[in-house]
Structure 1
């Protein structure tokens, strides 16, 4: 095998990409974006409930997202998206929807939430957009 130098572990690939946001942060940001689509700020308790985590965990992650410049958050307050958080959150929702629709189409089901959640962190944006184009041709 002459391409041995091209193989890495999953962590190795992540380090090569210089990932600025963790997969867990993506999950939280996606849910904050989903919950705030009507324009209302998100309460930590609601975020925690939707993600099946403790409010203290949701509060800690909101603080991490604030440090990354993706949300505005005051302890014991609500979470709102910054412009950067809104842009990334919208992409995360788009990516999730494309994958969910793709898996539903190929598996002939109406709900592939678990599969989309498991795959979404590992797929390249170019592939997401190409999957969308492909789906548009068949659905």
Structure 2
């Protein structure tokens, strides 16, 4: 079969190999963003709750090692999301605070949408935590419109 014809063949889901690969690339990219979003959201929560965010507390709450937290914090510093000093608290930059707010807003919309479908509260909360990191802006906007129309 010619290479061109093979490339356009669709798999059992009706997608070409290129479309599938593109989806997998997005998922990997989303995973890196998901980690950053989870960290900035938790850092913001810890600062709100106790006035500081420390690596040991991040590790405990996320169920990872302090080495993992340290490496991730270094990446977040390079991305301009946090600041920290050795053996000191971790703080969000303006960019990090903005991201934490965006994550919270996405979570709220996804959660409200799932609840509007009748998903039990506990399940909706758990599902929203995963979905919020992988949802496209178009889908989020559609959810927001749906919720607005429902409330009118």
Task: Tell me the SS of whatever aligns to 1:72.
Answer: strand
The question of whether the paired residues in 1 share the 8 Å contact of 2:47 and 2:53 is answered with: yes
Counterpart of 2:36 in structure 1 is 25
Residues 1:12 and 2:25 are matched in the alignment = yes
CA RMSD in angstroms, aligned pairs only? 2.8
**Partner Cα separation in structure 1 for residue 115 and residue 63 of structure 2:** 24
Unaligned regions of 5+ residues in structure 2, if any?
Answer: 1-8
Counterpart of 2:142 (choices 115, 130, 135) is 130
Counterpart of 1:92 (choices 103, 107, 115) is 103
TM-score by length of 2: 0.71
Counterpart of 1:116 (choices 128, 133, 136) is 128
Counterpart of 1:106 in structure 2 is 117
Q: Kindly tell me: are residues 33 and 108 of structure 1, through their superposed partners in 2, closer, same or farther at Cα, counting changes over 3 Å? A: same
Q: Kindly tell me: are residues 129 and 76 of structure 1, through their superposed partners in 2, closer, same or farther at Cα, counting changes over 3 Å? A: farther
The question of whether the paired residues in 2 share the 8 Å contact of 1:34 and 1:93 is answered with: no
**Partner Cα separation in structure 1 for residue 37 and residue 59 of structure 2:** 14
| Offset of residue 27 of structure 1 | 1.7
Q: Kindly tell me: are residues 105 and 12 of structure 1, through their superposed partners in 2, closer, same or farther at Cα, counting changes over 3 Å? A: same
Bigger radius of gyration among the two: 2
The question of whether the paired residues in 1 share the 8 Å contact of 2:27 and 2:134 is answered with: no
Larger fraction in helix? 2
**Partner Cα separation in structure 1 for residue 63 and residue 25 of structure 2:** 29
Unaligned regions of 5+ residues in structure 1, if any?
Answer: none
Q: Kindly tell me: are residues 62 and 14 of structure 1, through their superposed partners in 2, closer, same or farther at Cα, counting changes over 3 Å? A: same
Q: Kindly tell me: are residues 132 and 37 of structure 1, through their superposed partners in 2, closer, same or farther at Cα, counting changes over 3 Å? A: farther
